[in-house]
Amino acid sequence: MAQQDIGFVGVGRMGARMVARLIKAGYPLTIYDTNKAAMAPLVEMGAKTADSPAAVASAVEIVVVSLPTPPIVQSVALGPSGIVEGKRAKIFIDVSTTGATVAKMVAEGLAVKGIVAVDAPVSGGITGAEKGTLAVMVSCPEKILPTVKPILEVLGKLFIVGTQPGQGQTMKLLNNLLSASAMAITSEALAMGVKAGLDPSLIIDVFNAGTARNSATQDKMKQHVISRSFSYGFGLALLNKDIRLCMAEADALGVPMIVGSAVRQLLSISTATEGADADMTDLAKTVEAWAGVQIGQKSGA
């Protein structure tokens, strides 16, 4: 049976890999990105291109977006030449990290044109996007789920977290809060251990064998900090944005975030010092600078 046509807006590092998986799964794709070069490899795989989000939404009934910031999501969905101006779209799936406030605003704006918004933010990084092992946090009306489920299952494992706009986004912010906190505190612990004369790889082995195990000790420190590659694939500035969104949502809900606020401050400082293109694992460099120590291999080692 032929697969339903899908539109996809935003084919950056994550989006391109998701589009590739959908094409391989047999879905016809119509794509758009402001970066034409990013679309070229996907066109070679069989994707068609459109010249605006509105054009994508005029070509298909289901549009997926993977975009870097909430304002861009809002503009692509509701702005001039946005999805809201499309002639065919009925379902809007946002796999970005947008935050509940903007997600609700987008859902309300699209509903006026009869388009149903689906929260589907993802976690798992570039590797997860390539392998189809992302955690996909879905919130949508129950009647829509049978339509979007087969599409999203190509991308990873689905977690149905709610039915209201913004609930999937809240789940993603909680995930990234813990991920950022793990990266921050593990960097501090490693810096302290190395300065005390301990071997960083051994420190990580002990952590992973005991109660200190976390996402940073398992997936980031040896591979990207101790090795000095700093190439996990998720931007420090994006993580900083996500934690700011989380803190704003926590404040709106009246939930204290004492530890989270400290992590936000460290991320803000690290983003300013390490630069706009820094990887999230570059956060360790800020801690190293303050501690006067380097974790892992020396340059050229």
pLDDT band at 2; cut points 50, 70, 90: low
Express as a percent the part of the chain with pLDDT over 70: 98
Strands (E), the chain: 6-9, 29-32, 48-49, 62-65, 91-94, 116-119, 122-123, 134-139, 156-162
Catalytic residue among 24, 48, 104, 172: 172
Distance CA 207, CA 210 (A): 5
Distance CA 290, CA 118 (A): 43
> Does 172 qualify as catalytic in the annotation?
yes
Interval 218-253: pLDDT, tens: 999 999 999 999 999 899 999 999 999 999 999 999
pLDDT at 301: 38
Interval 137-155: pLDDT, tens: 999 999 999 999 999 999 9
β-bridge partners, 91? 62, 116
Interval 63-97: pLDDT, tens: 999 999 999 999 999 999 999 999 999 999 999 99
pLDDT band at 3; cut points 50, 70, 90: confident
pLDDT of 1 > 80? The answer is no
Q: What pTM, to 2 d.p., does this model score?
A: 0.91
pLDDT of 299 > 70? The answer is no
Q: How far is CA 255 from its chain centroid?
A: 23
Q: Give all domains of the chain, ordered by start, each with its CATH number.
A: 6-163 (3.40.50.720), 170-291 (1.10.1040.10)
